């Protein structure tokens, strides 16, 4: 058995495509009309079509599921999201392991989290004067990994 992707149902396939393609810069891998797959392993499926496939009610917006992405220009992303009236779960904040992240809702109320890459995190902390051992302790990353990332 091979895992392929996460699939979320959406109320408006065109609105969802616009959101993921234009705001989050995701590339379409497959397009079957009511089901669109993106490179990286997630798909959107038109809710009305999917509902007929499973013969069950669809519930959205339970704050119990998120799609996670990484990007190193979080400030620019937050500005783009604000300019497009995206609803935030929370704006840019630092997690207990020092990684900067932002969480917001897609048009169907799924949580989207975008965090800085571990490489960016390590290099950002290094610029503040922290030594590799201090970075490893603060982030819970293995010291060997911190050394690799800080030298890239």
pLDDT digits (tens, 9 = 90+) for 49-64: 999 999 998 887 788 8
Q: What is the mean pLDDT of the chain?
A: 95
CB count, 10 Å around CB of 67? 19
Calculate mean pLDDT across residues 78-86.
97
Give residue 80's pLDDT band: very low, low, confident or very high (50, 70, 90).
very high
Residue 25 CA from chain centroid, whole number: 11
Q: How far apart are CA 107 and CA 87, in angstroms?
A: 9
Cα angle for residues 83, 26, 75 (degrees, 5° grid): 40
Residues above pLDDT 90, as percent of the chain = 89
Give residue 1's pLDDT band: very low, low, confident or very high (50, 70, 90).
very high
Structure tokens at 42: 């997630």
Q: What is the pLDDT of residues 101-139, one digit of tens each?
A: 999 999 999 999 999 999 999 999 999 999 999 999 999
- Confidence at residue 72, expressed as pLDDT on a 0 to 100 scale: 94
- Confidence at residue 101, expressed as pLDDT on a 0 to 100 scale: 98
| Helix (H) or strand (E) segment spanning residue 51 | helix 47-54
- Confidence at residue 62, expressed as pLDDT on a 0 to 100 scale: 81
Radius of gyration of the chain (CA): 18
Calculate mean pLDDT across residues 18-43.
96
Give residue 36's pLDDT band: very low, low, confident or very high (50, 70, 90).
very high
Q: How far apart are CA 108 and CA 52, in angstroms?
A: 19
| pTM as predicted | 0.91
Which residue, among 46, 94, 42, has the nearest Cα to 68 in the 3D structure?
42
């Amino acid at each position: 058995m091979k895992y392929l992707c996460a699939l979320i149902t959406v109320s408006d396939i065109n609105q969802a495509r616009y959101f993921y393609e234009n705001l989050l810069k995701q590339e379409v891998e497959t397009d079957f009309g009511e089901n669109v797959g993106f490179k990286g392993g997630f798909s959107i499926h038109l809710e009305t079509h999917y509902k007929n496939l499973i013969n069950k009610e669809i519930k959205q917006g339970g704050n119990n599921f998120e799609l996670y992405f990484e990007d190193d220009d979080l400030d620019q992303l937050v500005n783009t999201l604000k300019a497009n009236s995206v609803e935030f779960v929370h704006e840019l904040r630092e997690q207990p392991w020092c990684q900067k992240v932002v969480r917001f809702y897609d048009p169907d109320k799924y949580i989207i989290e975008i965090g800085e890459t571990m490489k960016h995190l390590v290099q950002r902390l290094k610029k503040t004067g922290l030594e590799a051992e201090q970075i490893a302790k603060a982030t819970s990353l293995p010291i060997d990994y911190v050394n690799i990332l800080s030298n890239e």
